[in-house]
Structure 1
Amino acid sequence: MPDIEQNLAARDEFISAMRGVASSVTVVTTDGPAGKLGATVSAFSSVSADPPTVLVCLFAESRIAKAVMENSEFSVNVLAESAAHIADRFAGRHDAEVSDRFDSIAHSKSTHGMPGITGATVFCCDLQQAVRSGSHLIVLGQVRSVRDGQSRPLTYRDGNYHSVVPQDQAIACAAE
């Protein structure tokens, strides 16, 4: 059997290339016996429409990963482009000043009891499966309900937040 490690990309090259990939900014939230927690996550994707299923990747040793596993349900909140302060809060950038990441963040419980951030597009999920891959858990959730935030998403690329601009608007601005 060949040595898989020899065939992998160099870690630094991988990280550098991934910094160039834009992704929507999401906050995974959960509530239940393990407590009410939330964390900013960049790895989120649709898996299937039949049945509606999404995935998120969580650092396996994190509090949010452990809470999602114990609570067996979670929400994925796709943040609106005006919500960079919420992304920073749930990324832990204010943990020294604020003990509860939800403090002063507008949110409500969904019909299924999961915290949903106001203005975000929210996918409430039952934990279907979690698979360990390297340092992370790939968490699959069957979507029980959706609340469409009706706004453009906040994106993240190369260490900065960005706004999504429709191609025709970008071309029009460039022509002026």
Structure 2
Amino acid sequence: MDKTRTDFISAMRQLASGVSVVTTDGPAGRAGLTVSAMCSLSADPPALLICINRQSRAMATLRRNGVFCVNVLAIEQMEVARIFAGQANTSDGDKFASARWEQLVTGAPAAQDALAVFDCRIAQGMPYGSHDILIGAVAEARMREGRPLVYSNRAYGGVAPVAV
């Protein structure tokens, strides 16, 4: 591994990111995975983007279904994040048994207890390096109050307000 790549990977550990589970369902089946590479792209029209390793088992299913739901997790949903990241198992092997789900406009699974849910149709995608960047046109969104789950330095945590 070259020094620039090694330094990049080490430095990225310091980045604190929100934790989301991206899910899909449709003709190609149901799939989901934990991601930290998600961000808002546009308010008009409402859109966001996700970045997923092309080698991920879920990527082909996402592309074939053409839809995904970004489920922004709350701090109390750390186990859901771990299960969808492959860091923990469920007793029956079904990742989706770790939370309660519903379907919104696209049919992709939406976590009922997520802090925010963005139900999307894939508007565009492009490869870059080892990952694919998918742009999701938001078909439906909802939210609730709570504390977000974050990931930094290979550990899950929460955020707290800073006194000014």
**Are 1:21 and 2:28 an aligned pair?**
no
Q: Residue by residue, what CA displacement relative to the aligned partner does 1:60-92 show, whole Å, maximum 9, x if unpaired?
A: 121211111000000001000111100001001
Q: Which residue of 1 aligns with 2:134?
A: 139
Look up the SS of the partner of 1:55 in the other structure: strand
1:53 paired residue among 44, 47, 58: 47
- Offset of residue 95 of structure 1: 4.4
Q: Is the 8 A contact 2:100 2:111 kept in 1?
A: yes
Q: What residue identity is the alignment partner of 1:36?
A: R
Number of residue equivalences: 162
Percent identity over the alignment is 43
| SS of the residue 2:95 aligns to | coil
TM-score by length of 1: 0.86
Gaps of 5+ in 2: none
1:174 corresponding residue in structure 2: none
CA pair 21-96 structure 1, distance change in 2 beyond 3 A: same
Is 1:125 equivalent to 2:120 in the alignment?
A: yes
Pairwise CA RMSD of aligned residues?
A: 1.6
Moved over 6 A (4+): none
1:116 aligns with 110
When residues 15 and 98 of structure 1 are mapped into structure 2, their CA distance, relative to the original with a 3 A threshold, is: farther
* Partner residue of 1:156 out of 139, 151, 154: 151
Aligned equivalents of 2:112, 2:65: Cα separation in 1: 22
Q: Which residue does 1:65 correspond to in 2?
A: 59
Correspondence for 2:82: 88
How far residue 25 of structure 1 moved from its aligned partner, in angstroms, is: 0.3
Contact kept in structure 2, 1:80 and 1:149, CA below 8 Å: no
8 Å contact from structure 2 (residues 83, 98) kept in 1 = no
Whole-Å separation in 2 of the counterparts to 1:138 and 1:37: 17
1:108–1:115 contact (8 Å) kept in structure 2: yes
TM-score by length of 2: 0.92
